[in-house]
């Protein structure tokens, strides 16, 4: 049965279309009562690049007056985006030899915001790029020709992007991206799996983005579970069950176990000062190292702007940190299913947020179900919003991400495949299928099924923002179709 209308209210559609405004202020507030580093504003250091003598924009330019005009516009920008950006600095560099002293002062900055005030400032721009700090060059018309070097540096893999515009309003779209850079630098991911199967990719992400990782054990999580209040979990389970459209297979005790595991995961995150967790859940539950499936826990974490990701998939976890942080939209890790006869890809999994339209928005209807692959424990069959564009992405590694877009056309309620199923229409399913995961399949060895298969779906079109972050953070964006 296809479900297309009951899953979406007008309020959901309004929030979904608005881009999840205000989501960042809500992130993790239910989990951490105090402000956490990953939610604080990005520190953006201003710097002006100007030769002492230059023809462009004019030989008699009043540099102080020009900078004062820019500062007035930046003050308005800072007021509009105080939750995301803290502007600092404002130094003037006349020569490349001025850069080391400036960079020392800018040591804690997440981003450098540079203005080319005259032509001939490439040596200073190159010195900023060599620092490795994400750098955005704002180039006003007629300021000079070094916007060309900004583009060239980005093409060569330096962390440089460029805005060439007379409209300071175009800087607004970067405010959330600046905060994402800070978010990645200050986030911490917990990864739980048997030591022998621990992922090998964390070091790459830590080096590329600054993200921290820790590796607690199943026993660490079990200790938190044993310490959690069983009576409260039972009460919470009863309340949670009332919010479902229907409870199909799970028994009250199983739902209580899942709510108790959620309390345990919350406690572990607080103690570790982490905002994300990925668990080898299928294996852990099958080996009886997990007392319950974490499907409900992960759904609830994703709804508040933290991150819970199944199968210990760190590539999908990092993808969620990247996109959710600027979009305010939770990610849905999926096992895609093709139906070329309908030009569709169905995205299916047993973990889904109920606020896919945006953190702080309305909740989608859901049913409480068993986990499909073994008909045990508790998962959620969610019926997210229908209509509009979605972005589907996944990091291949810290230097490359795969991205595509599709139209959300419905939900699917049947007993085949994972519980939550989002139907999407793509431009050319045959072409997409033939080129599937080509960015992953580059070496002599065959990638694993999960790495070929998994994608993360986000409501909204976020391609341009991901491309901008790719330039600022030095990773390649590969469009899958």
Query: Using one digit for the tens of pLDDT, what is the confidence trace for 68-120?
Result: 999 999 999 999 999 999 999 999 999 999 999 999 999 999 999 999 999 99
User: What is the C-alpha to C-alpha distance for residues 94 and 50, in angstroms, rounded to an integer?
Assistant: 5
**Residue 107 belongs to a domain with what CATH number?**
3.40.50.2300
- Token pair for 274: 């982490």
- Residue-wise burial string across 408-423, b where 16 or more C-beta atoms lie within 10 A, e elsewhere: bbbbbeeeebbbbbbb
Q: Which of 236, 278, 281, 333 lies closest to 30 in space, CA to CA?
A: 236
Query: At which of 128, 156, 181 does a domain end?
Result: 181
Report pLDDT for 201.
Answer: 85
Are residues 212 and 135 located together in one domain of the fold? no
User: What is the C-alpha to C-alpha distance for residues 426 and 341, in angstroms, rounded to an integer?
Assistant: 12
- Token pair for 189: 């991911």
Are residues 225 and 333 located together in one domain of the fold? yes
Number of domains in the chain: 2
Query: At which of 153, 181, 209 does a domain end?
Result: 181
Percentage of the chain lying above the pLDDT 70 cut: 94
Q: Is the four-CA dihedral 87, 358, 318, 276 of positive or negative sign? A: positive
Are residues 296 and 367 located together in one domain of the fold? yes
User: What is the C-alpha to C-alpha distance for residues 254 and 285, in angstroms, rounded to an integer?
Assistant: 13
Ranking 96-105, 197-206, 384-393 by mean pLDDT, the lowest is 197-206
Are residues 144 and 191 located together in one domain of the fold? no
pLDDT for residue 16 is more than 50: no
pLDDT for residue 4 is more than 70: no
User: What is the C-alpha to C-alpha distance for residues 427 and 92, in angstroms, rounded to an integer?
Assistant: 49
- Token pair for 268: 């572990």
User: What is the C-alpha to C-alpha distance for residues 177 and 85, in angstroms, rounded to an integer?
Assistant: 10
The β-bridge relationship of strands 389-397 and 400-412 is: antiparallel
The owner of tokens 């019926």 is 383
Report pLDDT for 29.
Answer: 58
Are residues 397 and 412 located together in one domain of the fold? yes
Q: Is the four-CA dihedral 132, 138, 143, 145 of positive or negative sign? A: positive
Are residues 115 and 44 located together in one domain of the fold? yes
**17: cis peptide before it, omega within 30°?**
no
Are residues 166 and 255 located together in one domain of the fold? no
- What is the domain extent for residue 171? 37-181
> Quick count: other Cβ atoms within 10 Å of Cβ 427?
12
Mean pLDDT of 407-429: 93
Mean pLDDT of 284-290: 93
Are residues 304 and 319 located together in one domain of the fold? yes
- The larger pLDDT score, comparing residue 432 to residue 1, is at 432
Instruction: Kindly indicate the confidence band of residue 417, based on its pLDDT and cuts at 50, 70 and 90.
Output: confident
Are residues 132 and 244 located together in one domain of the fold? no
Query: At which of 139, 159, 181 does a domain end?
Result: 181
Are residues 144 and 255 located together in one domain of the fold? no
Are residues 253 and 345 located together in one domain of the fold? yes
Q: What are phi and psi of 132, to 5 degrees?
A: 85, -5
Are residues 18 and 110 located together in one domain of the fold? no
């Amino acid at each position: 049965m296809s479900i297309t209308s009951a899953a979406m209210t007008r309020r959901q559609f309004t929030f979904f279309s608005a881009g999840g405004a205000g989501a960042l202020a809500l992130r993790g507030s239910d989990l951490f009562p105090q402000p956490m580093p990953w939610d604080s504003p990005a520190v953006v250091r201003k710097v002006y690049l100007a030769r002492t003598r230059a023809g462009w924009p004019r030989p008699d330019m009043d540099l102080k007056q020009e900078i004062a005009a820019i500062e007035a516009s930046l003050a308005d920008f800072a007021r509009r985006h105080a939750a995301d950006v803290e502007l600092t600095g404002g130094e003037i560099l006349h020569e490349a030899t001025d850069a080391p002293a400036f960079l020392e002062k800018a040591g804690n900055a997440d981003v450098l915001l540079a203005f080319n005030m005259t032509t001939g400032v490439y040596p200073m721009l190159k010195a900023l790029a060599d620092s490795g700090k994400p750098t955005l060059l704002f180039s006003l018309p007629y300021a000079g020709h070094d916007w060309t070097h900004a583009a060239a540096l980005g093409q060569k893999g330096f962390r440089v992007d460029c805005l060439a515009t007379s409209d300071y309003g175009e800087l607004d779209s970067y405010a959330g991206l600046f905060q994402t850079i800070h978010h990645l630098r200050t986030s911490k991911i917990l990864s739980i799996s048997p030591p022998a199967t621990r992922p090998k990719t964390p070091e790459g992400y830590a080096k590329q983005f600054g993200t921290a990782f820790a590796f607690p054990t199943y026993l660490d999580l079990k200790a938190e579970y044993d310490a959690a209040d069983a009576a409260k979990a039972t009460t919470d389970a009863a309340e949670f069950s009332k919010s479902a459209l229907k409870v199909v297979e799970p028994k009250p005790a199983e739902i209580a176990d899942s709510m108790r595991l959620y309390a345990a995961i919350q406690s572990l995150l607080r103690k570790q000062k982490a905002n994300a967790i990925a668990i080898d859940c299928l294996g852990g539950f099958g080996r009886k190292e997990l007392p319950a499936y974490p499907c409900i826990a992960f759904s609830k974490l994703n709804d508040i702007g933290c991150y819970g990701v199944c199968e210990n998939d760190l590539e999908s976890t990092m993808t969620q940190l990247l996109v959710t942080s600027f979009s305010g939209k939770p990610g849905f890790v999926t096992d895609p299913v093709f139906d070329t006869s309908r030009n569709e890809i169905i995205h299916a999994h047993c973990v889904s947020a109920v606020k896919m339209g945006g953190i702080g928005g309305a909740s989608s209807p859901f049913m409480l179900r068993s986990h499909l692959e073994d008909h045990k424990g508790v998962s959620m069959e969610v019926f997210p919003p229908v209509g509009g564009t979605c972005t589907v992405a996944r990091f291949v590694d810290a230097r490359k991400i795969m991205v595509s877009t599709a139209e959300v056309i419905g939900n699917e309620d049947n007993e085949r495949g994972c519980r939550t199923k989002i139907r999407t229409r793509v431009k050319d399913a045959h072409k997409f299928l033939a080129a599937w995961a080509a960015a992953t399949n580059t070496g002599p060895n065959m990638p694993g099924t999960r790495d070929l298969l998994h994608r993360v779906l986000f409501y909204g079109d976020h391609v341009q923002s991901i491309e901008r972050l790719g330039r600022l953070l030095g990773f390649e964006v590969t469009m899958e179709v």
